[in-house]
Structure 1
């Protein structure tokens, strides 16, 4: 009898563990709490669990209480993404999302060099192709599409160059305008490594390669 009870207890624990794991995997990164650090505009830093909202340029910090901070109050924050792995860094930078009026906006920095940095802002988009599917996530969001119940994680990309933030159209011809001077070298690098002009991980590699070329 004790063995049966013990077996049931282990089974219940296993089911709960699977349910917790599935819940973590079935949420987008902006929907969960991450361990991280925040630095305000005065340079003061503090740590806690962080949840970010790029649509509204807000972050929440969970300590003894939950604090809500805006991009106007924060200069930089970083999180450790335990689901997908790695440290992700976000800066508050002046940018006009709508119209000509610049306000502090959170951008994730993917890679940076002496002249050019690649930035991005993620968002959750409707994916009509997956509206009728019942599967969970698909692929790592850093290197390919991530889908969940008819939604997918998408990105807008930006290049910080010449002291300005320029939005990238995700058209291949515009990539060479954003990264001028090395079209032949970049084209060869993309072909050899089978890189796409509109994927997060590929863009990161392309920009890092450009910065290496530009530093020589």
Structure 2
């Protein structure tokens, strides 16, 4: 991955050291997972790939599980969508942002490996659950705003509806092995709005 190392060197000057260490470490995790899977992610391998010390990594992330979740969150993390006065526009904002992340090289394997690790005995179930709660929070807020505006039926279960929004993109990417596209996002917005609307 000489290209990735060159990229890191090129973007280094001008960035605070703390930010550089964090970004380079999380990039190294994503690269290792993409190339070899989650088993290749060791503190030694990440430190060597990122060009940082192991103590610097441990100061930020106490375990391999925390490091992998942080890497996933650097690519697919919490969003903020302003009140646009229209649930369709707000859902499209969320799904378009997710679409962009899902189409990046390595995202499918990163998500697959993260879910596998969380499902295994002794895996980071609690930490993974906390991560999914964070990334779903904005979708729940959008649906709650929709209820307040009369665009969503008040009896709709917000958690179930938020899952309905998020799951199809992941399923298309991981189960159907196909990159989702903008047409799929448009179709999904229409179906969700019909499902939860008055």
TM-score normalized by the length of structure 1:
0.24
Higher relative contact order (CA 8 A, sep 6+): 2
Structure in which a larger fraction of residues adopt helix: 2
